């Protein structure tokens, strides 16, 4: 990796950066370093002030050691470590630890700097959308995943539109958010694993924040870690619980239940 620019040219050490990229990482020893290099070098080349936060969660390989070594070598990088494998709580932890004006979520196996280039100018202005989703379903997108996973995404999105009134066609994957607008909502999110980002976007829309979506091309660097057949029933049960929780919160005089991390499980 090329040396970091001099202080003040890039990186977030001296002041709050423009962009925070959050990378959840569970057992990603094989590709973590190359993915971090792709993001860091890409943002340095663009002259953006930024930080990268790797949120290791429950890894049993060398992910923790690699993240800590990279933290020592790359001034723009910080690493966090959670005790359980939970993708959703890793996203939440990264968002709440971020200092950038805009927070961008990537997966270690899917980093899309082209999405960042298009989405950050949309969410950065105070009068822009608070969340921009990289949709795998909107016009112009290309999804190279397996037919079963594409079908599951269609079904999930349909449930969210019909059952929850969600306006965007996707909630999982890459997204950009204006931190000041969404971080308070993230603090109150109660569902982790597969549903944190879904709950966050639902809460954003219900709070009156604007959301938007742009097409993306999905090309993953490795196969999915968890079986889609295992995730489907787990996600459906989670959606039912989320629907009940949101309904109860809408009742007059309702009080929010305290936030407790959900049980672990394989990260996606």
- Contact in structure between 1 and 75 (CB atoms under 8 Å): no
| DSSP conformation class of 262 | P
- Given this model, what pLDDT does residue 224 score? 65
Mean pLDDT of the chain, nearest integer: 85
Instruction: Give 226's Cβ-side CA count (13 Å radius).
Output: 19
What is the torsion angle, in degrees rounded to the nearest 10, for the CA atoms of residue 215, residue 161, residue 239 and residue 260? 70
- Contact in structure between 176 and 106 (CB atoms under 8 Å): no
Give the C-alpha distances (Å, rounded to integers) separating 27 from 24, 59, 96, 112, 252.
10, 5, 22, 20, 44
- Given this model, what pLDDT does residue 126 score? 95
- Longest CA–CA span in the chain (Å) reads 57
> Measured between alpha carbons, how far is 157 from 82 in angstroms, rounded to an integer?
29
Instruction: Give 258's Cβ-side CA count (13 Å radius).
Output: 1
> Measured between alpha carbons, how far is 228 from 179 in angstroms, rounded to an integer?
31
Strand 211-215 versus strand 102-105 pairing type: unpaired
> Measured between alpha carbons, how far is 69 from 66 in angstroms, rounded to an integer?
5
> 196-206 and 179-187 helices cross at what angle (nearest 10)?
110
- Contact in structure between 51 and 16 (CB atoms under 8 Å): no
Nearest CA to 67 out of 109, 31, 112, 16 is that of 31
- Given this model, what pLDDT does residue 223 score? 65
pTM for this prediction: 0.84
- Contact in structure between 63 and 163 (CB atoms under 8 Å): no
- Indicate the domain borders of the chain: 19-250
**What φ, ψ does residue 220 adopt, rounded to 5°?**
-85, 150
User: Superfamily for 19-250?
Assistant: Spore Coat Polysaccharide Biosynthesis Protein SpsA; Chain A (3.90.550.10)
- Given this model, what pLDDT does residue 32 score? 97
- Given this model, what pLDDT does residue 222 score? 67
| Per-residue model confidence as pLDDT tens digits over 170-179 | 888 899 999 9
Question: Tens digit of pLDDT per residue, the chain (268 long)?
Answer: 644 544 333 343 458 999 999 999 999 999 999 999 999 999 999 999 999 999 999 999 999 999 999 999 999 999 999 989 999 999 999 999 999 999 999 999 989 999 999 999 999 999 999 999 999 878 888 878 778 878 888 887 888 888 888 889 888 889 999 999 999 999 999 887 878 999 999 999 999 999 999 999 887 766 666 666 677 777 788 888 888 888 888 777 656 544 544 433 333 3
Give SS3 for 28: coil
């Amino acid at each position: 990796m090329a040396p970091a620019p001099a202080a003040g040219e890039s990186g977030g050490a001296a002041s709050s950066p423009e962009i925070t990229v959050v990378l959840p990482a569970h057992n990603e020893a094989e590709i973590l370093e190359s993915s971090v290099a792709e993001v860091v070098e890409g943002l340095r080349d663009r002259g953006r002030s930024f930080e990268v936060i790797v949120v290791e969660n429950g890894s049993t390989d060398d992910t923790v050691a690699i993240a800590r070594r990279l933290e020592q070598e790359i001034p723009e990088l910080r690493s966090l470590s959670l005790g359980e494998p939970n993708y959703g709580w890793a996203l939440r932890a990264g968002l709440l630890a971020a200092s950038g004006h805009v927070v961008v979520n990537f997966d270690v196996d899917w980093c899309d700097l082209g999405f960042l280039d298009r989405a950050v100018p949309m969410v950065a202005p105070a009068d822009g959308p608070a969340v921009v989703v990289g949709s795998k379903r909107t016009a112009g997108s290309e999804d190279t995943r397996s037919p079963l996973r594409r079908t599951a995404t269609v079904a999930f999105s349909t449930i969210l539109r019909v059952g929850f009134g969600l306006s965007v066609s996707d909630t999982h994957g890459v997204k950009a958010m204006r931190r000041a607008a969404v971080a308070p909502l993230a603090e109150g999110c109660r569902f982790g694993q597969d549903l944190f980002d879904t709950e966050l976007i639902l809460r954003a829309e219900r709070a009156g924040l604007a959301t938007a979506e742009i097409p993306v091309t999905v090309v993953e660097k490795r196969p999915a870690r968890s079986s889609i057949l295992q995730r489907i029933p787990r996600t459906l049960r989670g959606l039912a619980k989320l629907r009940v929780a949101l309904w109860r919160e809408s009742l007059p005089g309702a009080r929010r239940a305290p936030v407790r991390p959900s049980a672990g499980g394989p990260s996606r």
